[in-house]
């Protein structure tokens, strides 16, 4: 059996290499590529995607999987490697290599169109490309057996085993509680935050963001931070995990929280068992669990009072004029100010999930055909008014703000909110296991926290199904209760509710 397992691992390694090569090209497209390089880049990525698909879906892989099933103890790495590979193989086998190539080429063109459309706030530039993305997604769904909802097929790619109905049920329970909290906050005295939007030196903010994530434990020998239109994390191996960030002149300190967010993803990837490299067990188990890590470091750590009791003296020393007369408690309240905003990535914790729920509704509508792409700007604005009481002044701050649809990543958005819920579930367990965690954070010490996450989550890669992993650690599957408790406690203190 060891010989056959080695044969399977060799093929998986080659597929992994091809996919990571495509990821390098994608990273470069976001960070370095000149504007005219898009078409050639799309062809390059299409070729790599087609070769990887053909190699992975070869009949030899299926034969090896069949021969290796039930040959190892159920809890072993080997058994889980075969199980996850079998699942991935079954899905990949249904998708023609020619389709993978077509999708890669269309995605490259779509991304370039999105960048131009966002820059000009002109949806008409992006509309035909998004229509093509939706058409491709609908064709992708057609390769699979019909489920309870066509969106199930897409969601399963990002959150294995999760059904659309489950997400809708979770969101239905969460939405009224968040809306009720928002109403209470609106009736309270608003916190002052004007000093966050003064002019801050970009390089100083950027360098300070790197100081913070270095202290978190981000390993610069295995990573780097570069500029891109939209912050993201990508990994080419456990020893090459990169993040990107951006600087917004009108919201300069957002760079700090974007760095914490993407570093949360990167810490996860840097912590995966190196033995899983170039196999189906590499990388994080799901996007909800991945988001739980990024949102934890960004919000439960990075927007906490103990965190700024340590870091505030440093940022005040860097920006004495901007923060003149500001103390740590007022800074803490300001960075947690609740105010509906147009941009999801800059949204406060009390409104963030509503942005995600909006996008989920639009994605489902696009997939099942009840919403037309040409109508999205109007629908988007109407739902922003319904959910958050604001209407975007232009499409750049509305329907064009996110990069995901330009890459064909439809089925992704709900995992952002699910990640929030998981982060709170994990946080309650962490605080039971790590006594005096607030004092450690207050002292700028994150080693014990990172060690806990590495042991319980990171090292396992994709060995466990996501819901099983969450239940194994917290005692329940993904549930909104802990997050509701967290929000209520935090904002009751900030706003005196």
Contacts of 347 (CB under 8 A, 6+ apart): 341, 355
Is 104 within 8 Å of 37 (Cβ atoms)? no
Handedness of CA 404, 481, 266, 77 (dihedral sign): negative
| Measured distance CA(274)–CA(19) in Å, rounded | 18
Q: Is the distance from CB of 434 to CB of 252 less than 8 angstroms?
A: no
The C-alpha atoms of residue 174 and residue 421 are separated, in whole angstroms, by 10
What's the Cα-to-Cα distance from 117 to each of 44, 123, 399, 491, rounded to whole Å? Answer: 24, 6, 11, 37
Q: Which pair of tokens denotes residue 217?
A: 């434990």
- DSSP secondary structure, 208-261, as one string: HHHHHHHHHT--GGG--EEE-SS--EEEEETTEEEEEE---TTSTTHHHHHHHH
Residue 453's SS3 state is: helix
Annotated active-site residue in 159, 166, 233, 262: 262
Number of helices and strands (H, E) in the chain?
Answer: 20, 3
Rounded Cα–Cα distance for residues 42 and 37 (Å): 9
- Would you call 359 helix, strand, or coil by DSSP? helix
CB atoms within 10 A of CB 169: 12
Record the tokens describing residue 459, joined without a space. 């090292």
Phi first, then psi, for residue 241 (nearest 5°) are -120, 110
- Is 447 one of the annotated active-site residues of the chain? no
For CA atoms 359, 360, 365, 367, give the dihedral sign. Answer: positive
Strand order in the sheet with 225-227: 225-227, 240-245, 233-237
What does the alpha-carbon distance between residue 219 and residue 207 come to, in Å, rounded to a whole number? 15
- Among all residues, which ones are annotated catalytic? 262
């Amino acid at each position: 059996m060891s010989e056959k397992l080695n044969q399977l691992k060799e093929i998986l390694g080659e597929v992994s290499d091809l996919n990571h090569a495509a990821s390098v090209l994608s990273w470069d497209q976001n960070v370095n590529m000149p504007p005219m390089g898009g078409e050639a880049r799309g062809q390059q990525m299409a070729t790599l995607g087609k070769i990887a698909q053909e190699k992975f879906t070869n009949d030899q892989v299926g034969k090896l999987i069949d021969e290796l099933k039930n040959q190892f103890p159920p809890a072993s790495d080997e058994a889980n490697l075969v199980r996850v590979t079998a699942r991935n193989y079954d899905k990949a086998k249904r998708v023609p290599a020619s389709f993978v190539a077509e999708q890669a080429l269309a995605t490259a063109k779509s991304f370039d169109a999105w960048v131009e459309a966002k820059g000009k706030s002109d949806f008409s530039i992006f509309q035909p490309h998004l229509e093509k993305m939706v058409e491709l997604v609908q064709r992708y769904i057609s390769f699979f057996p019909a489920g309870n909802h066509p969106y199930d097929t897409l969601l399963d790619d990002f959150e294995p085993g999760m059904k659309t109905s489950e997400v809708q049920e979770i969101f239905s329970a969460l939405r009224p509680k968040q809306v009720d909290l928002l109403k209470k906050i609106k009736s309270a005295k608003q916190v002052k935050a004007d000093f966050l939007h003064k002019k801050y030196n970009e390089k100083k903010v950027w360098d300070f963001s790197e100081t913070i994530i270095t202290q978190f434990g981000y390993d610069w020998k295995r990573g780097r931070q570069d500029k891109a239109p939209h912050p993201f994390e990508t990994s080419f191996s456990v020893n090459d995990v990169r993040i990107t960030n951006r600087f917004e002149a009108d919201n300069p300190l957002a760079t700090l929280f974007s760095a914490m967010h993407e570093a949360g993803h990167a810490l996860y990837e840097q912590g995966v068992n190196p033995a899983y490299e170039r196999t189906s067990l590499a990388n994080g188990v799901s996007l909800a669990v991945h988001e739980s890590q990024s949102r934890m470091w960004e919000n439960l750590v990075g927007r906490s009072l103990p965190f700024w009791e340590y870091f505030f003296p440093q940022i005040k020393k860097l920006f004495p004029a901007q923060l003149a007369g500001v103390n740590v408690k007022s800074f803490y309240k300001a960075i947690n100010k609740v105010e509906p905003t147009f941009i999801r990535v800059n949204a406060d914790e009390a409104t963030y999930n509503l942005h995600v729920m909006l996008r989920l509704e639009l994605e489902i509508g696009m997939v099942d055909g009840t919403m037309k792409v040409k109508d999205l700007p109007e629908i988007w604005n109407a739902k922003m008014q319904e959910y958050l009481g604001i209407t975007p002044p232009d499409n750049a701050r509305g329907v064009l703000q996110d990069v995901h649809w330009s890459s064909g990543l439809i089925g992704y958005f709900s995992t952002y909110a699910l990640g929030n819920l998981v982060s709170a579930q994990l946080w309650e367990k962490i605080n039971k296991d790590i006594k005096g965690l607030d004092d450690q954070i207050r002292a700028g010490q994150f080693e014990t926290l990172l060690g806990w996450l590495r042991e319980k989550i990171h090292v396992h890669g994709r060995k466990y199904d996501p819901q099983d992993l969450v239940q194994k650690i917290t005692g329940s599957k993904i549930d909104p209760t802990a997050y509701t408790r967290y929000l209520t406690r935090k904002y009751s203190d900030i706003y005196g509710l």
